[in-house]
Copies of this chain bind each other. A is one copy, B any other.
């Protein structure tokens, strides 16, 4: 499949775009979306850009019953000189295919869908906000559509990309969050679906999130599902600790999602010659470092917030306050560097950003 196969139907009306300072996360969607269908025999087919609109689904569609689905999340940024940048988008489509494999969903042509995404972004060019901290959030996802109640991989799917202009994650500048360590509920376990971005993982996380919010904590820290000792992730972010000068993040163990931000931070720290280690780390280790006075910083990492400094852990009725509840130096430096690279304000030493070109020509069907 190549770009020429994509048909484009432009919307007759255009929605009003929200003000830069009133952007919320994931509530407003742009005028168009990309869709492509899969059916056994035909494979992936009929790629098209169409007006953003409701889809029609049989009530027996598998996604409603057996949750066979995957998704991705990334962002497009506008530079000061008007270019549009994506941050390592090939990694997201690579991960989407890894999720597909775990969920028995047919593989996508990664190069093609990246080109399709670029084309969609060009169509929605005016939707990319430019104020500090804003971006265009990109949500590629696949849902199973076969109307059949047997527990089997679906024979038909829809792959879609929708776009949402989003505001700064930190309305009042980067600031630390308070995290409750979750000791009852589990996000994922080795042999489960934790390494995939699939709906069920997020559905499973809602309850713990609800409980932690009730006691005044904005996210939970997930422990491993086997011993409930080792640290896995924070909310829907990966997590890092700076202990005695060394930066540590839990090793990929079969239940942790391999975040693009996580990978980039590890690479950046290595580039800076800062010691960084991927290993098993327990909540006991973190508490011991806290008691020893060597727990210097902790932060979550993910596409939405980029870096989310952690000011406090609540664990077994004890509060571990980190760096006086203030944003640490390394957290701040990583945040500034990553967002600087993403928005084209800083040089891109490791070759991460991909420019959305304007040179493609394509057929427009109306």
Chain A residues near B (Cβ < 8 Å) = 25-27, 29, 33, 52-60, 63-69, 71, 102-104, 137, 139, 141, 143, 147-153, 160, 162, 164, 184-186, 188-193, 198-207, 209-210, 225-226, 228, 235-236
Contact = CB atoms under 8 A, between A and B. Distances in A.
A55 B186 CA distance: 33
Contacts of A71: 64-65
B56 A55 contact: yes
A125 to B, nearest CB: 20
B25 A189 contact: no
Given A162-B60, A186-B192, A103 B203 contact: yes
Contact of A206 (B58, B148, B151): B151
A59 B160 contact: yes
B27 A104 contact: no
A25 B150 contact: yes
Contact of A56 (B54, B192, B203, B205): B54
A204 B192 contact: yes
A192 B186 CA distance: 5
Contacts of A188: 192
Contacts of A201: 67, 200
A65 B207 contact: no
Contact of A67 (B69, B160, B209, B210): B69
**Closest CB pairs A-B (n = 7):** A200-B200, A67-B199, A26-B149, A186-B191, A66-B202, A67-B203, A189-B189
Contact of A103 (B68, B207, B236): B207
Nearest to A208: B191
A294 B68 CA distance: 40
A203 B66 contact: yes
B192 A203 contact: no
Give the one of A63, A71, A150 with max B CB within 10 A.
A63
Nearest to A190: B186
Nearest to A26: B149
A310 to B, nearest CB: 18
Nearest to A223: B191
22 contacts: A26-B148, A27-B149, A29-B59, A29-B60, A52-B59, A55-B57, A56-B57, A57-B57, A60-B162, A65-B199, A66-B202, A67-B67, A102-B207, A103-B207, A104-B206, A137-B149, A189-B192, A189-B225, A191-B225, A199-B203, A200-B201, A226-B226
B26 A66 contact: no
Contacts of A225: 189-192, 225-226
B59 A55 contact: yes
A138 B185 CA distance: 31
A85 B27 CA distance: 46
Given A103-B206, A151-B236, A64 B26 contact: no
A204 B209 contact: no
A209 B59 contact: no
A143 B193 contact: no
Contacts of A69: 64-65, 67, 203
A3 to B, nearest CB: 22
A199 B202 contact: no
